[in-house]
Structure 1
Amino acid sequence: MEQDIIREDTAMKSILLHIDSDRAMPARLQVALDLARASNGHITCLQAISYEVFAPGDFYGSAMAAAMPVIKEAAEKLRAEIEAALAKEDVAWDWRFVYGAAEYRLLEQAALADIVLIGPHDAGEGARGPSGMAGTLALKAPVPVMVVPADTKRFDVTGPMLVGWNGSAEACVALRRAVPLLAMASKVYLATVEEPRGEGRFDFPPLEGAQYLSRHGIEAEIVAIPRGDARISDTLFSAAQMRGCVLLVMGAYGHSRFAEMLFGGVTRHSLTEPQMPMFLAH
């Protein structure tokens, strides 16, 4: 009984959902619904629009003035569509419409949230590549961030989940914050990608991560994966897919963000084209 009370208290009940017209919107709405049902939670839909239109030579603001009604009309249409869909669902929700850049408004609202759900690309962009917003939120938000790819059909909270482990402080933070989800999983894997001798970070060996989870009643299987020639991000995704996992848990930006931008890095490569929902914390 005591263990059930602990898990109830740490459940992700306040779900902050980014609303935008990108291709992944239906996917993260479905994930938000699945999470809310599993935890008897509440979805806060946050729709942020910005009128910061860059128009060279627009000294008198004529281009911005012309864009404002178009942007507002599109936002109102999207809101009507999603509210109509939510009205048919059996979950609690509310809507917050704000002005400004989405990542900063999400950071503000995350102060009283348990998790933030976003898409894999920046707001208003269909381009492929890592999301700057995802990086900012993963580093600065006081809660974990879940990045949901567009092809996600649903999120089975009882499905297997894989934790990418390199023994770093960031990996430890991600593990701790993922406990409410890992507690619902049918199977948890703690996966390490073996590095050449002397290059591993293992400040905390995998066994310590597994022992931490066991204190929460979660049994984890430690998996050691040969480094090989593939990127670590691709190796982790492949390992998760081979085991039928529904979620990849990772510590975000294990070394400086600037270095990751210049040289790549597991977080950056993972965000470029995520192959399943990703749970990030820093």
Structure 2
Amino acid sequence: MRQDILVPFVTYPDASARTLVDQAIAVATYLGRDIHAVALDVDIPDVSNLVSRLLIGLPDMIRETEADSHARGAALLVAIEAAASKSGIRFTGATVSAEPPLFGDRAAELARYHDLAVIGLEASNDTARLVAEGIVFGSGRPALLLPEAAALGALDRIAIAWDGSRVAARAVSDAQPFLERAAEIVVLTVTDEKPLADAGLGERFAARLAAKGLAARAMPVLRGSRPIAAALQGEAAAQGAGLLVMGGYGHSRLRDFVLGGATEGVLSEPTMPVLLSH
């Protein structure tokens, strides 16, 4: 059975960086997967009321904004289709429209039909953050978060954030295609953030991976005064990992996500590729 990755391009108010095209191609090549790319165009609701009549030219401004969004998305689709063709990757593309508050929900709906979502993240791009949250917590599929400002590292050197929880186990399961290709796996357990079930759970999990034929070792991590996301990403990088696998903690409170500290950190300040799964 052929598997694929979904690549959602945001287009409003700022578009995904062109580097996401190259990153997605690299991931698809590494995993041997097809690509389905989607441009998320903005659909601004009609505001035909007294206010819009007083604001001269507002309908024209809306049409211009929507046209610019569509043009940015079309350019990204053309770029990734050309790159996929050059790399021998099967490609399909589509354009969908949504109102700005619904970008995350629409992206989550789309991601349910694909095996993995590859999302470009930039600290200043709030729409990309909204799409990432929607997919992680609403799609039931894993999301590979790629900082658009950072080069894609060695995906065969993997760090796993392990605390023995359900979401951590789910993330490891969703990361199997990467783990099967791994040259080295380091299991990171933060020992000074919260109570753990036992002191040796990282070593025990590394031993289970090793019993399956994977080159795995455990590494305890002291958070100290660092934010938990910075501690995990920093230690993963220090151990030579090019990918961090972790569970996404969060729940919805009246449609606003309340996120765990590590999840909030990697969504706000990603410094390396992170496979996040809920």
TM over 0.5: yes
Instruction: Tell me which residue corresponds to 1:91.
Output: 89
Instruction: Tell me which residue corresponds to 2:271.
Output: 275
> Does 2:108 match 1:113?
no
8 Å CA contact retained: 2:244, 2:274: yes
8 Å CA contact retained: 1:206, 1:222: yes
From 197, 204, 210, the counterpart of 1:202: 197
Instruction: Tell me which residue corresponds to 2:225.
Output: 229
Instruction: Tell me which residue corresponds to 1:170.
Output: 167
Structure 1 spans left out of the alignment, 5+ residues: 1-8
How far off is 1:28 after superposition? 2.9
Superposition pairs for residues 55-74 of structure 1, below 5 Å? 57-58=51-52, 62=59, 63-74=61-72
How far off is 1:54 after superposition? 8.8
1:58–1:217 Cα change, 3 Å: farther
Superposition pairs for residues 13-162 of structure 1, below 5 Å? 13-21=3-11, 25-52=17-44, 57-58=51-52, 62=59, 63-100=61-98, 101-121=102-122, 126-127=124-125, 131-158=129-156, 160-162=157-159
8 Å CA contact retained: 1:190, 1:222: yes
How far off is 1:179 after superposition? 1.6
How far off is 1:210 after superposition? 2.6
Following the alignment from structure 2 to structure 1, what is the Cα–Cα distance between the partners of residues 24 and 204?
31
Secondary structure class of the residue paired with 1:112: coil
1:135–1:218 Cα change, 3 Å: same
1:257–1:238 Cα change, 3 Å: farther
Q: Which has the higher contact order (CA 8 A, sep 6+)?
A: 1
**What root-mean-square deviation, in Å, do the aligned CA atoms of Structure 1 and Structure 2 show?**
3.1
Q: Match for 1:99: what amino acid? A: S
8 Å CA contact retained: 1:213, 1:219: yes
8 Å CA contact retained: 2:161, 2:188: yes
Superposition pairs for residues 235-246 of structure 1, below 5 Å? 235-246=231-242
How far off is 1:25 after superposition? 3.2
How far off is 1:33 after superposition? 1.5
How far off is 1:147 after superposition? 0.8
Task: Report the TM-score, using the length of structure 1 for normalisation.
Answer: 0.80
Secondary structure class of the residue paired with 2:271: coil
Q: Deviations over 1:196-243 (max 9, x none)?
A: 6xx324389224433443454323211111231111111111111111
Structure 2 spans left out of the alignment, 5+ residues: none
The percentage of counterpart residues that share the same residue type is 23
1:209–1:135 Cα change, 3 Å: farther
